[in-house]
């Protein structure tokens, strides 16, 4: 397994660009800046060669840049730069620039700041970077990310020489090499390695040098990973003591925002499908039907006496069910439950105490308001394990055919509960391990899952725990003995993603809560014998990242990307606590986004897909099953004309007061072969060393993003008469050009697209079987009145408009048959594949086969790419018009019928 990385994720590129643009006006240091000054109090000699970073942009310009970036991101604008100053050893420590990037867990925060390193190096020649982390776990995660992204970034940035390493107090020589090297250097450090005066890095060595001075000399760009853990005075002073050129702070949960330049909050990430959707399977005593479960929901005042609203189990006609009833003193749960044995002794309600918020039963049981009494803790834990294994088998059945391996993660609070030793000192499974293997064997032997996971129970699970000379131990993730644990699981990250690796259930102590995640964790189970203070966002953060398939490619299908949390509390309690945490930490609402696992239903075919069993379906399918291909004709002259018109009307790149800090004069030349170039002539009064103006290869930059010729690019830039703006802000101007070019090109491509039916190629019927899946009840419409009119037991709907449309399809007598086109029914277009919504067979003076795209918004209110795909859909289905196939955008069934009548009238006239 080799992970693949997508370099075109717009939200990550926006975050990178937000930081890069703050330094606009900074000249490119092509070979690094050799340090020729001695810091006050430094013990380094002038002979110690160092190559460091220099920031020459004026503070006024930096503030203007920050405000411009914030305006672009629609963030509150800073009045002044958030400079921070600390005093240590009678010296002032100043951090001149503090930039904050907020990115939700699982959206690629580490990838983003690693790419920012390369971009800052490419744009401005910054060579020295330090990544500061709060824990061993996160340190190992950063080093692993540097390793697995190395080839990707080397390809992206032209094999730039780079060295990355981890600070080790026993290998101080790396600091001197770091300081002296003129190549890109990234050093990863744990904050606790340099917070105390007694730390080795802060004490003088035999040479008379304090090792930290090698870092101070080069003014590194310091990236702070999870800075909310570094907001104490001691840790902030330690960061300032690195003498950073600036601090870049990356987290999902900042305590202080300083100068916020980019924000991707949990709601934005969740709604855009950038992380997995959260499903909660709450396990409480009320889940075990064998227990004497009682839950006090409310105390209700009455005219003469109080009543208690209780939830408990009742023997029903079809089995045990959970019910809610009002009880008054003297009521007996044994009688009210229709004689359940669990309530036979001691369950007469004796007292309702409204002041204390509790009820007492005859056997001495006391239940408090909002609490429940039922199964033992062990019963709950055992059921959690079993449910997690069940969810795992269900996901494997769904995802293995798509090449996606499923992992499940168990958090435990005591290692001995998973594995330990017997009296003779031999290793043995603890109760959790025993329960797991029993559950695995039970489900593996069921006909539905038999052979699905071709390994024995003992092969599929493994534990990752810290160990010292005395053996495995319970740890909190901050001790030295955690190193081996994190090294092991981080090195196993890709191996765990391979289908050839049997291990797919991971048991870990709570120490794994931070610093490790795996994209293919689909279940997280928290097993604790007592309620822990672990925050929900920490729990789910280990599994939010989008999964990858066998080729290492990210899976973008939102309906598949679900993280099931098996929690030892009710769904309501978990969802309420998680929503409160998110609101507390981010200030954004997260309501109605967390789903209940008990509300998932299975979409299944109700008919055999044969002409004999389903003649109406095949009557429709025979008319639309053929695939098509397209060709495009457009004029580059039209593209140049339209792009030039748009660019001339576009807002010009602003020229701010310090934009020419780098040079008094710079002139531009343009040639059809050489492209656009800039040459600096003189230095400014700021006494900066002469340097070439950093303008990228214009042709290459645009052609990487838009499929047009160099000649077309040249004509557009020349005729727009705006290429002088390359001198002001090359990045901003080129992004404008790319955006206009792509928009105009897409319109011309769609306008000139022509489709051709492929008579020998049809969509395969298996795409309908692939639509069998689990979905939430809130996204389903049960087709149970006239099930013969469609293929599935449920219709998947994505809006209230679509739900109403399907309801009317089922009820309308003119509709004989209907079905939603599966995701595998892809129509190729120049702007990406397109899948229409519904196909309807109607009787309207003869059979009509209507393909409906369900949209409520007007054309101008829809996204541009939606309109372009709809235009392509019209041209595709026009090939089938002779067979009474119509295609159109509608919002309701009456609107669809009106459009059919209008077309019939037009056809009659013609």
Using DSSP's 3-state secondary structure scheme, residue 570 falls into: coil
- DSSP letter for 610, please: S
Using DSSP's 3-state secondary structure scheme, residue 724 falls into: helix
The CATH number assigned to the domain with range 380-598 reads 3.40.50
Q: What does pTM read for this prediction?
A: 0.71
10-24, 115-129, 661-675, 814-828: the lowest-pLDDT one: 661-675
Nearest to 869 by CA among 630, 610, 606, 683: 630
- DSSP letter for 448, please: T
Examine domains 380-598 and 615-631+756-909 and report if their fold is the same: no
Domain limits, the chain = 41-264, 289-374, 380-598, 615-631+756-909, 635-751
**Which pLDDT value is given to residue 647?**
86
Token pair of 269, please?
Answer: 């990430």
pLDDT at 508 over 80: yes
Token pair of 573, please?
Answer: 């309690």
Stretch 570-586: mean pLDDT, rounded?
Answer: 83
pLDDT at 49 over 80: no
**Which pLDDT value is given to residue 907?**
56
Q: Determine phi and psi for 217, rounding to 5 degrees.
A: -65, -30
pLDDT at 263 over 80: yes
**Regarding predicted confidence, which is higher, 187 or 414?**
187
Stretch 630-635: mean pLDDT, rounded?
Answer: 92
Exposure string of 47-65, with b = 16+ CB inside 10 Å and e = fewer, is ebebbbbbbbbeeebbbbb
Stretch 655-660: mean pLDDT, rounded?
Answer: 35
**Which pLDDT value is given to residue 8?**
81
Dmax (CA) of the chain: 101
Q: Determine phi and psi for 888, rounding to 5 degrees.
A: -165, 165
Structure confidence at residue 666 as a pLDDT band (50, 70, 90): very low
- What does the CA dihedral 619, 621, 624, 628 come to, rounded to 10 degrees? -140
**Which pLDDT value is given to residue 624?**
95
Stretch 412-422: mean pLDDT, rounded?
Answer: 83
**3-state secondary structure labels for all residues of 254-306:** CCCCCEEEEEECHHHHHHCCCCCEEEEEECCHHHCCCCCCEEEEEEECCCCCC
Residues 6+ apart with CB under 8 A from 398: 560, 773, 774
Residue given tokens 């088998």 in the structure block: 393
pLDDT at 690 over 60: no
- What does the CA dihedral 622, 623, 625, 629 come to, rounded to 10 degrees? 150
Query: What gap in Å lies between CA 693 and CA 198, rounded to an integer?
Result: 45
Compute CA distances 408 → 387, 395, 418, 435, 477, whole Å: 11, 10, 15, 15, 20
Query: What gap in Å lies between CA 376 and CA 369, rounded to an integer?
Result: 19
pLDDT at 685 over 50: no
**Which pLDDT value is given to residue 858?**
63
User: Tens of pLDDT along 143-158?
Assistant: 989 999 999 999 888 8
**Which pLDDT value is given to residue 472?**
52
872, 830 contact by CB (below 8 A): yes
Residues, the chain: 910
CA–CA–CA angle 34, 727, 638 (5° rounding): 140
Domain range 41-264, CATH architecture:
3-Layer(aba) Sandwich (3.40)
23, 737 contact by CB (below 8 A): no
Q: Which fold has domain 615-631+756-909?
A: Trna Endonuclease; Chain: A, domain 1 (3.40.1350)
Stretch 389-393: mean pLDDT, rounded?
Answer: 96
510-519, 555-564, 700-709: the lowest-pLDDT one: 510-519
47-56, 361-370, 541-550, 672-681: the lowest-pLDDT one: 672-681
Query: What gap in Å lies between CA 882 and CA 345, rounded to an integer?
Result: 76
**Which pLDDT value is given to residue 330?**
95
Q: Determine phi and psi for 197, rounding to 5 degrees.
A: -60, -25
**E strands, 594-693, in order:** 595-596, 600-603, 626-632, 666-671, 675-680
**Which pLDDT value is given to residue 486?**
55
pLDDT at 718 over 70: yes
411, 526 contact by CB (below 8 A): yes
User: Tens of pLDDT along 60-95?
Assistant: 999 999 999 999 999 999 999 998 776 666 677 678
**E strands, 173-274, in order:** 184-190, 221-225, 246-251, 259-264
Query: What gap in Å lies between CA 468 and CA 209, rounded to an integer?
Result: 34
H/E element holding 121?
helix 109-124
pLDDT at 872 over 60: yes
**Which pLDDT value is given to residue 693?**
39
Residue given tokens 């030793």 in the structure block: 421
Calculate the average pLDDT of the chain.
Answer: 84
User: Tens of pLDDT along 371-386?
Assistant: 777 756 677 788 899 9
User: Tens of pLDDT along 555-567?
Assistant: 988 888 999 999 8
CA–CA–CA angle 755, 761, 762 (5° rounding): 95
393-407, 482-496, 529-543, 867-881: the lowest-pLDDT one: 482-496
Q: What percent of the chain has pLDDT over 70?
A: 84
Query: Exposed, middle or buried: residue 500 (CB in 10 Å: 0-12, 13-18, 19+)?
Result: exposed
**Which pLDDT value is given to residue 201?**
96
**Which pLDDT value is given to residue 588?**
82
**Regarding predicted confidence, which is higher, 723 or 434?**
434
**Which pLDDT value is given to residue 352?**
95
**Which pLDDT value is given to residue 479?**
43
Query: What gap in Å lies between CA 85 and CA 62, rounded to an integer?
Result: 18
């Amino acid at each position: 397994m080799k992970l693949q990385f997508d370099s075109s994720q717009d939200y990550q590129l926006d975050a990178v660009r937000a930081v890069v643009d703050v330094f606009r006006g900074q000249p490119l240091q092509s070979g690094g800046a050799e340090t020729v000054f001695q810091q006050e109090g430094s013990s380094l000699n002038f002979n110690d060669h160092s190559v460091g970073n220099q920031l020459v942009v004026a503070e006024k310009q930096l503030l203007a840049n920050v405000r411009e970036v914030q305006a672009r991101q629609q963030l509150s604008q800073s009045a002044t730069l958030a400079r921070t100053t600390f005093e240590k050893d009678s010296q002032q420590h100043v951090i001149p620039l503090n930039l904050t990037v907020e990115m939700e867990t699982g959206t690629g925060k580490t990838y983003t700041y690693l790419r920012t390193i390369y971009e800052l190096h490419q744009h401005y020649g910054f060579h020295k970077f330090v990544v500061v982390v709060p824990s061993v776990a996160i340190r190992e995660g950063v080093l692993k990310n540097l390793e697995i992204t190395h080839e990707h970034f080397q390809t992206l940035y032209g094999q730039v020489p780079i060295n990355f390493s981890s600070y080790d107090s026993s290998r101080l020589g790396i600091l001197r090499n770091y300081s002296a090297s003129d190549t890109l250097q990234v050093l990863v450090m744990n904050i606790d390695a340099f917070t105390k005066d007694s730390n080795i890095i802060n004490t003088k060595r035999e040479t008379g040098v304090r090792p930290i001075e090698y870092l101070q000399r080069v003014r590194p760009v310091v990236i702070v990973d999870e800075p909310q853990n570094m907001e104490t005075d001691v840790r902030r002073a330690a960061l300032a003591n690195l003498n950073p050129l600036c601090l870049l702070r990356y987290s999902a949960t900042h305590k202080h925002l300083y100068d916020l330049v980019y924000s991707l909050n949990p709601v934005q990430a969740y709604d855009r499908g950038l992380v997995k959707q959260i499903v909660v399977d709450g396990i409480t005593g009320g889940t075990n039907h064998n227990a004497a479960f009682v839950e006090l929901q409310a105390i209700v005042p009455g005219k003469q006496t109080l009543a208690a609203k209780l939830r408990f189990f009742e023997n029903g006609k079809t089995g045990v069910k959970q019910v809610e009833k009002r009880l008054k003193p003297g009521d007996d749960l044994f009688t009210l439950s229709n004689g359940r044995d669990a309530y036979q002794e001691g369950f007469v309600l004796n007292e309702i105490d409204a002041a204390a918020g509790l009820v007492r039963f005859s056997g001495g049981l006391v239940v408090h308001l909002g609490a429940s009494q039922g199964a033992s803790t062990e019963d709950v834990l055992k059921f959690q394990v079993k449910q997690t294994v069940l969810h795992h088998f269900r996901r494997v059945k769904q995802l293995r055919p798509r090449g996606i391996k499923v992992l499940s993660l168990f958090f435990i609070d005591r290692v001995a509960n998973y594995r330990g030793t017997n009296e003779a000192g031999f290793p043995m499974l603890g109760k959790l391990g025993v329960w797991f293997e029993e559950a695995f064997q039970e489900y593996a032997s069921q006909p539905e899952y038999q052979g699905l996971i071709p390994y024995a129970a003992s092969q599929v699970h493994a534990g990752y725990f810290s160990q010292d000379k005395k053996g495995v131990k319970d740890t909190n993730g901050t001790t030295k003995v955690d190193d081996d644990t994190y090294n092991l699981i981080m090195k196993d990250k890709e191996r765990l993603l391979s289908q050839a690796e049997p291990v797919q259930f991971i048991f870990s102590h709570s120490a794994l809560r931070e610093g490790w995640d795996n994209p293919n964790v689909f279940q997280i189970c928290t097993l604790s014998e007592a309620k822990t203070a672990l925050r929900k966002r920490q729990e789910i953060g280990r599994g939010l990242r989008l999964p990858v398939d066998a080729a290492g490619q990210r899976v973008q299908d939102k309906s598949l990307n679900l993280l099931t949390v098996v929690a030892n509390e009710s769904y309501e309690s978990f969802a309420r606590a998680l929503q409160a945490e998110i609101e507390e930490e981010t200030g954004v609402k997260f309501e109605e986004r967390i789903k209940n696992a008990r509300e998932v239903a299975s979409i299944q075919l109700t008919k055999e897909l044969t002409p004999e069993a389903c003649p109406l379906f095949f009557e429709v399918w025979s008319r639309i099953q053929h695939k098509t291909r397209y060709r495009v004709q457009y004029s580059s002259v039209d593209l140049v004309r339209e792009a030039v018109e748009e660019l001339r009307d576009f807002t010009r790149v602003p020229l701010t007061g310090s934009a020419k800090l780098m040079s008094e004069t710079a002139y531009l030349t343009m040639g059809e072969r050489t492209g656009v170039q800039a040459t600096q002539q003189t230095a400014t009064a700021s006494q900066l060393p002469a340097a070439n103006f950093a303008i990228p290869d214009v042709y290459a930059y645009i052609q990487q993003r838009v499929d047009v010729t160099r000649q077309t690019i040249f004509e557009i830039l020349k005729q727009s008469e705006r290429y002088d703006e390359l001198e002001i802000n090359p990045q901003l101007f080129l992004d404008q050009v790319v955006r206009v070019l792509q928009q105009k090109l897409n319109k011309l491509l769609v306008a000139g697209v022509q489709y051709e039916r492929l008579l020998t190629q049809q969509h395969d019927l298996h795409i309908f079987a692939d639509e069998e899946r689990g979905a939430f009840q809130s996204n389903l419409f049960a087709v149970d009145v006239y099930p013969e009119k469609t293929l599935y037991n449920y219709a998947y709907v994505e809006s209230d408009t679509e739900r109403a449309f399907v309801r009317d399809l089922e009820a309308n007598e003119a509709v004989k048959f209907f079905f939603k086109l599966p995701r595998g029914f892809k129509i190729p277009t120049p702007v990406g594949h397109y899948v229409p919504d519904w196909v309807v067979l109607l009787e309207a003076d003869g059979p009509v086969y209507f393909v409906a795209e369900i949209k409520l918004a007007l054309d101008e209110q829809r996204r541009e790419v939606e309109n372009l795909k709809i235009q392509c859909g019209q041209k595709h289905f026009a090939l089938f018009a002779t067979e009474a196939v119509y295609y159109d955008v509608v919002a309701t069934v009456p609107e669809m019928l009106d459009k059919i009548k209008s077309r019939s009238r037009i056809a009659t006239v013609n």
